[in-house]
Amino acid sequence: MPPLTHYCLQYLHTHNTTTQSHTLSTLRNLATPITYPTHSFPSPRQLLEHRIASLIQQCPNMRALRQIHAHFLKFPSPSSSFALSKLIAFAALSDRGDIGYARRLFDEMPRPNVFSWNCMIRGCSLVPNPSKEPILLYKKMVARGFANPNSFTVAFVLKACSVVSALSEGRQIHCRAFRHGLDSSPFVQTGLVNFYAKCEEIALARSVFDETPERNLVAWSAMISGYSRIGLVIEALGLFREMQEVGIDPDEVTMVSVISACARAGALDLGRWVHAFIDRKRITVDLELSTALIDMYAKCGAIEKARKVFDEMEVRDAQAWSSMIVGLAIHGLVEDALELFSKMLESKVKPNHVTFIGVLLACAHSGLVDDGRRFWSTMQEFGVEPSMEVYGCMVDLLCRSGLLDEAYSFVTTMPILPNSIIWRTLLVGCRNNNNLDKAELVANKLLEIEPLNAENYVLLSNLYASSSQWEKVSFMRKKMKGHGVKIVPGSSSIEINGFLHKFVVGDDSHPEIREIRKVLRDIAELARKAGHKPWTSAVLHDVGEEEKEEALVEHSERLAIAFGLLKIKAPNVIRVVKNLRFCADCHEVTKIISKAYEREIIVRDRIRFHHFVKGTCSCKDFW
């Protein structure tokens, strides 16, 4: 007797419960006749299958399902394959099911039908820790040849590929679907768009999308999400507008992608408009959408609005709490972030690794080393396994506090292999603490892992330049050239009347560059009168001081701020988003601008937010 069969029969004899009585009663009713129209006379098998489907559909939990299974094993019938497939469907796909039980049922089927294969492929892709199991099941299905994959099979396995970013396997499945004529199915086409978008193959996603004759809500949402994920915000929002023009009403899933696009760009005006659109269209604001709004407002510099959305939520899960804590932390509102963490614990919501990212970020941005160590211990008490990002936050905290040796020891004794971000954080710490010996040691390790990342070379070159070691700076440039490494230019963007304007250092392509440069000259004169001396050590070129000063004047953040002074009238806030870390010299000059022009300026760099008001910055020069 197969082990699962033996287990079910044993289970039936040992669990004499109310649920069992209810199940037995229902099973006895299998023989009750059903009245059908006179022109339709189903066979006895069809009658039995109808009863089986009805019984499983009413199943309240796995205990009842096991009892049903046991009865079918006691009274085998020609419908056993049909019954097993229905049992598998419940166990694999129901939120009351058990994927392990479904696997054992499936393994005992000698010739699973396509429905059973599809249930298993889909069910295995819904587990909390996704793996390549659904893809392996698909390959086994094809190899055995007992059941041919249909359009649902392809759609389900493509979804599984998108979850684990299995690009190679997904492309093979696409080819097979094309050969067998399944690629014309709307389910498959939508699955392909979603798969390529999730794998950030946006050109392929768009190609499939453009060839789809009947574009549905899911395909539009997948494309918008794909654009948003790789930072093509204008394309994402353009597609959203196109979606409205053709009369497809978005749902909360679509709006999460649109809101995320606004968050990436720091496009507050667009984000506000989208929020108003959600209210106007009465789109359900569920937990995920509320959390996306919190994230958007926080990343667009409107932390008060983010807090308002959070406070108005009737139900908050760990993700919502964590997003708000992270938002407060990156704005430098350390006390608020830590107080909210305490309230989260009081509300009996278990923190996750994102929560601790926020808490440790808050500590890092204020040099609270003792608090950071305490929260590290608290995390272990909650049984939260530290992610690579959490390790990175701890390293960052130690480096910012000048504890470079401790940070280095922490990295070299980590139980998991440190990634490039961890080593780069350590390298930044070496640069900030002017520790060249340790920096070279860390840089060598980093360049082993990422020999083609320009940022690694720039960080070390920066350290050499700050100590006027121009020969080593030249060597690093030659090494970069030899590897074909190109520097990612610093860029800053500012939103004016719903449109994003992007600037790079020394940019003269903007149609209003003459007016912008006039403002820059005024700013330079104000800075000089305020006693500011340009921090020319930030310029990584062996040129004269005057040329270095000219280079600093046209850094991307300064161009964007100058344009904001031209176009945004007081008392409206000037908001700038920068792709790299804020230049130290520009940071000092922006403090002078905020005081001289009496303007509030908010700059989001890759690390955090800087709020400039009346000559001071919220970071307190600690970033």
Least confident span in 6-15, 104-113, 279-288, 544-553: 6-15
27 has pLDDT over 80: no
Q: Is residue 525 part of a domain?
A: yes
536 has pLDDT over 70: no
29 has pLDDT over 80: no
The number of distinct structural domains making up the chain is 1
Q: What is the mean pLDDT of residues 187-206?
A: 92
**Can you read off the two tokens belonging to residue 362?**
């808050």
Residue 30 has what pLDDT? 39
Q: Is residue 206 part of a domain?
A: no
Q: Is residue 563 part of a domain?
A: yes
What pTM does this model have? 0.75
Render pLDDT for 438-488 as a digit per residue (tens, 0 to 9): 999 999 899 899 888 888 888 888 888 878 888 888 898 898 888 888 887
Q: Is residue 192 part of a domain?
A: no
Q: Are 578 and 606 in contact (CB under 8 A)?
A: yes
Render pLDDT for 249-278 as a digit per residue (tens, 0 to 9): 888 988 999 999 899 888 899 899 999 999
544 has pLDDT over 60: no
**pLDDT tier at 230 (50, 70, 90 boundaries)?**
confident
Distance CA 311, CA 327 (A): 14
Q: Is residue 531 part of a domain?
A: yes
Q: Is residue 506 part of a domain?
A: yes
Distance CA 442, CA 438 (A): 6
Q: Is residue 63 part of a domain?
A: no
Higher pLDDT, 147 or 36: 147
* Range(s) of the domain holding residue 584: 491-617
Least confident span in 176-180, 238-242, 334-338, 345-349: 238-242
**pLDDT tier at 40 (50, 70, 90 boundaries)?**
low
Higher pLDDT, 244 or 295: 295
Q: What is the mean pLDDT of residues 490-501?
A: 90
Q: Is residue 327 part of a domain?
A: no
DSSP assignment of 33-82 equals -----TT----HHHHHHHHHHHHHHT--SHHHHHHHHHHHHHS--TTHHH
Residue 65 has what pLDDT? 85
Distance CA 57, CA 81 (A): 17
In terms of DSSP H, where are the helices of 500-583?
Answer: 513-529, 545-553, 556-567
Render pLDDT for 360-417 as a digit per residue (tens, 0 to 9): 999 998 899 999 999 999 998 999 999 999 999 999 999 999 999 999 999 999 999 9
Render pLDDT for 134-184 as a digit per residue (tens, 0 to 9): 999 999 999 988 789 999 999 999 999 999 999 999 999 999 999 999 988
